[in-house]
Amino acid sequence: MKYLYSFLVVFFIQISFAQDITFRIAFEPNSKVRHQVDDLLTNYNAQTTYSFAFTEERLQEMEKQAIKISGNAESIHNIRNTFDIQIHNLTYEEEIELLRQLQNFPSVRYCEKVNQKIIPPPYDIAPETPDYTDSQIYIYENPGVNMEYAWNLGYTGQNIKVKNVELGFNSSHEEFNDSPHIRFAEDYTPVSYEDYWEHGTGTFGVIAGHNGEYGVTGLAHDIEEAVLFSEYTYEYGYNRVQAISLAIQNSAPGEIIIYELQTGGAGWTEDDPKYVTAEYEYSVWDLTKAATDTGIVIVAAAGNGNQNLDAPQYDNYMQRGHSGAIIVGAGSPDLQHSRAYFSTYGSRVDLQGWGWNVLSTGYGDFAKIGNDMNQAYTMFSGTSSATPIVASCAAVLQSYYYDHTGEYLTGMQIADILKDSGIPQSPGDDGNIGPLPNMEAAMAIALSNENTPIQKRFRIYPNPFENQIYIETVSSSKPAEMRLFDISGKLIDQRHFTEKTELNTAHLSAGIYFMEIISQNKTETFKLVKSN
């Protein structure tokens, strides 16, 4: 009986740990040695599929946009080469060993296990609903963001489209039910998850609540659309990167995507998830970089894990570089603007919004008129309430800038303007979460010369270049003069143009060049690289 008992125990342990696993693997673009990975996976009868939702047509379009806006399309090449690998019946030990082997191949940029469990979002009609606008203190001057100033000038988010990635929202709420532009993404059926859907309801209330005589008023209530891309659908199951890639697939330069998301941080456990910003996952970072390189604005929650992103355990994340996203921490709803104890923080966090006392739609803890969830209101909190406040400021600032220039700011330009003009975090406060936006000050500097980005006057692409360079004037049609020099200062080419011109550079040697463009008595200098 002793031997039989031991055999049964071992057999039980082996069966209990066998499970289906999905890895996400990103290859180096143009890698010639992927067959090594393929040979290894053959032993596991693995099924491989493309990780994201992009069509080939959209990827080609994004490559062109990235070259124009960012000078190269490397980030698009990265998302082209990312795949999900599904393997059945792996033990924990086999999973760890296979992950180690995959990560060590020189052709692999990264390999990570795909989370199969839902990650919570980052949140700590008659009878007549009262008008709660006066209770939305965050609308007004310090300690609020002074969005009222923008409203008084007529800027309420016009001509700007916003996407939100999370689980869902209550589209039947009285603040949205008569607004067809506030909706779920078409062609995908979200799985109803009532507790988490109220979270999305709160998000949309902050941004797009109806501007009427009842309930709340959204900070950017006249945005052209607010569309939710659900992480959990009948078509794809629970799949965060699919939702993000679908949002990017359906966005254009200048539009805004919000990540009301967080993920487990370094050394996380189920009991202590150490929540950080969603782009800590490498696949989300890649998608974010591809989006921002094409001019899409990403605004993302920092997460509610009280994590220091400058700590050594986050070195690998920080060393990837800047994704271009605006990362939002949670601060106090008072004149101190101190970091909320739960907010993740660090030099990578750009701006703060209120981390509690944010009156919005959903839940019903503040009011539930007639005991009806479609007339429910809440005091929203967490980096979840902070993020839509900052996203709304980005949308209204973008609307203002577009109205005056016919062009869009990038996310990093919006972040710089909001940071330069914002209300500082409390001096000596522990853990950087950045300033709170101040819309009056932001709008005052948005159109000043020092904040009008060079690339809004001229587009020079591609960079690095090979056989051709294209130059376009963007913000005016004034005459300009172009001069191209090699690294020794020798003049290579010189010409006058008005709107655009192109240079044949096939005869130039590989190396570094400098271009001067002179227009309206101002000279701008650009460093260019010929790759071969």
Neighbour count for residue 259 (Cβ, 10 Å): 30
For residues 222 and 256, state if they share a domain.
yes
Q: Residue 80 and residue 71: Cα distance in Å, rounded?
A: 18
Is residue 147 within 8 A of residue 219, CB to CB? The reply is yes
For residues 212 and 348, state if they share a domain.
yes
The residue length of the chain stands at 532
What is the pLDDT, as a whole number, of residue 10? 37
Instruction: Look at phi and psi of residue 64 and say left if phi exceeds 0, alpha if psi is from -120 to 50, else beta.
Output: alpha
Q: Which residues contact 108 (CB under 8 A, 6 or more apart)?
A: 25, 26, 27, 28, 37, 102
For residues 258 and 399, state if they share a domain.
yes
What is the pLDDT, as a whole number, of residue 325? 98
For residues 169 and 103, state if they share a domain.
no
CATH number of the domain within which 67 lies:
3.30.70.260
What is the pLDDT, as a whole number, of residue 268? 94
CATH number of the domain within which 518 lies:
2.60.40.3080
Is residue 193 within 8 A of residue 200, CB to CB? The reply is no
For residues 370 and 418, state if they share a domain.
yes
| DSSP 3-state of 238 | strand
Q: Which residue segment(s) compose the domain that 404 sits in? A: 133-454
CA 11 and chain centroid, separation = 46
Both structure tokens of 58: 């959209």
Write a three-state SS string for 288-299: HHHHHHCCCEEE
Q: Exposed/middle/buried for 148, CB within 10 Å: 0-12, 13-18, 19+?
A: middle
Whole-number CA gyration radius for the chain: 25
The label of the residue with tokens 């899409």 reads 296
What is the pLDDT, as a whole number, of residue 475? 58
| DSSP 3-state of 492 | strand
For residues 328 and 391, state if they share a domain.
yes
Q: What stretches of 453-510 adopt beta strand conformation (E)?
A: 458-461, 468-473, 480-486, 491-497, 500-504
Q: Is residue 320 part of a domain?
A: yes
CATH number of the domain within which 402 lies:
3.40.50.200
Q: Is residue 126 part of a domain?
A: no
Is the dihedral angle over the CA atoms 79, 80, 81, 86 positive or is it negative?
positive
Q: Residue 299 and residue 72: Cα distance in Å, rounded?
A: 22
For residues 288 and 359, state if they share a domain.
yes
For residues 360 and 424, state if they share a domain.
yes
Q: Is residue 118 part of a domain?
A: no
Q: Residue 145 and residue 338: Cα distance in Å, rounded?
A: 15
The label of the residue with tokens 């605006």 reads 326
Q: Residue 122 and residue 385: Cα distance in Å, rounded?
A: 9
Question: What's the chain's average pLDDT?
Answer: 89
What is the pLDDT, as a whole number, of residue 374? 92
What is the pLDDT, as a whole number, of residue 413? 93
The domain total for the chain is 3
Q: Is residue 169 part of a domain?
A: yes
* Domain termination residue (choose one: 435, 454, 473): 454
Q: What are the φ/ψ torsions at residue 403 (nearest 5 degrees)?
A: -60, -30
Q: What is the pLDDT of residues 292-327, one digit of tens each?
A: 999 999 999 999 999 999 999 999 999 999 999 999
Q: Is residue 177 part of a domain?
A: yes
For residues 138 and 234, state if they share a domain.
yes
What is the pLDDT, as a whole number, of residue 6? 37
For residues 463 and 449, state if they share a domain.
no
Is residue 111 within 8 A of residue 95, CB to CB? The reply is no
Q: Is residue 127 part of a domain?
A: no
Q: Residue 475 and residue 451: Cα distance in Å, rounded?
A: 14
For residues 442 and 466, state if they share a domain.
no
* Domain termination residue (choose one: 434, 454, 474): 454
Q: Is residue 3 part of a domain?
A: no
Q: Is residue 122 part of a domain?
A: no
What is the pLDDT, as a whole number, of residue 454? 40
What is the pLDDT, as a whole number, of residue 127? 62
**Which residues of the chain are modeled with pLDDT < 70?**
1-18, 123-129, 449-457, 474-477
DSSP output for 48-116? EEESS---HHHHHHHHHHHHHHHS--HHHHHHHTEEEEEEEEE-HHHHHHHHHHHHH-TTEEEEEEPP-
For residues 105 and 139, state if they share a domain.
no
* Domain termination residue (choose one: 406, 421, 454): 454
